[in-house]
Amino acid sequence: MKYLRKLTAEKISSLMIFSAWLWGMFYIWLILMHNVEEKVGATLLSSPFIYAALSVSLLLFLIQEKAGVLKELAIVTFFLVIILLHLILIFNLLLLRLPDIYDFSFYYECFLIIFLGVTPMYLLLRIL
């Protein structure tokens, strides 16, 4: 109950931005899956782990005490994107071929799985 008293307009607006950000990332993933004509229900992102990670992330996002969680999470996401872009570049240089839509959908799905696995851990460590 003490966490409900600490809900402010800033926390709720940050939570809405974070939710819209997650929705946008999932919508891009859905477009990619439809472009490669893969069944969405057969992918790892449709597993219960993802729903649990989303729920835990949103709950931990709400009970943050320190300010600036959205900015720090954006920085963590930026560095994850940079690391994955370097990995894509290295893998495709080693294979001596250009990435196609199947590669992009695979790498983006890996990014989402890593992001949704790291986000609850980061938010929990931020509380401690």
**26 neighbors 91 (Cβ within 8 angstroms):** no
pLDDT digits (tens, 9 = 90+) for 27-83: 888 888 888 887 777 777 777 888 888 889 888 888 888 888 888 888 988 998 998
First to last CA, the chain: 19
Alpha carbon separation from 43 to 13, 56, 64 (Å, rounded): 31, 21, 31
**Domains in the chain: boundaries:** 2-127
pLDDT digits (tens, 9 = 90+) for 84-122: 889 888 888 888 888 888 888 888 888 888 888 888 898
**109 neighbors 43 (Cβ within 8 angstroms):** yes
The model's pTM? 0.81
